[in-house]
Amino acid sequence: MRNNILFIGNSYTFYNDMPEAIFAPMAERAGYPCDVTSVTHGGYHLYQFADPENEDGKRLRATIAGNHYDAVVLQDHSIGPIFKREEFEKAVGDLMTLLDGQADQFVLYATWGRHPDSPDLARFGLKSSEMTAKLSDAYNQVGARYGIKVAEVGKAFADRRAAHPEDELYNPDLTHPSALGSTVAAETILREIMRP
C-alpha cells in the first residue's frame, strides 16, 4: 500500500525539489512507499495558505478536495515562528481544522537559523545558533499545544555541521538548503513521519 504525503510550505520545502526528488525516493528505500503532493510558494507564511481568500489558499483547498493523507508536513516562513508567533500558532490550528478527517497525522517542519555568515542575522539581532533554538522552541510549543510531531530539521543541521564542518548544508545565499541540506531535511521529516 502506498502512503499519501502532503507538504505545505515555501522555498525551504521546494528547494532542490525536496519532496519529489529527495523525500519520495528516500521513503521508498526505507520501505515507506509514498505519493507526494506539494503546495508551496516562496516566502510564504502558513497563515497565507490558511486564508480562503488567498490564491494559494484556494489552490490548497482545490488540491486537498476529496483526498486523504497519511501525513501532512507544515513548514512556516523561516522567521515567522519567532517574530509572528501568534499567526504561526493560529495558522497551524486553522490548517488542521481545514484538513480535519483528511489527515492521519501532522508533522511540523522546524527549520534552521541562517548560516553564521549571513548578514540577515545582524538585522534579526540573533546568532545562527540562537535562531535555530528559537525556531525549535516555537515549533515544539505549537506542536505540544496541538499534540503533533515536530521534525527538528534545524537541530539536525546544527548536529551535522558540528560533526562534519566540511559538509555544506546551505545554498550560496546562506539561507536556503543545498542539495545536502535538503537531504538532511528529508531524512529528519521521514524519520518523524515513520516514528510510532
For the stretch 35-86, pLDDT in tens is 999 999 999 999 999 999 999 999 999 999 999 999 999 999 999 999 999 9
Looking at domain 3-194, its CATH architecture is: 3-Layer(aba) Sandwich (3.40)
Each domain of the chain, given as residue ranges in start order, spans 3-194
Average pLDDT score over residue span 117-145: 97
**pTM attached to this predicted model:** 0.97
Q: What is the mean pLDDT of residues 175-185?
A: 98
86 neighbors 121 (Cβ within 8 angstroms)? no
Cα dist from 45 to 9, 110, 143, 166, whole Å: 8, 13, 17, 32
Q: What pLDDT does residue 1 have?
A: 87
Q: How far is CA 53 from CA 46, 47, 58, in A?
A: 14, 11, 7
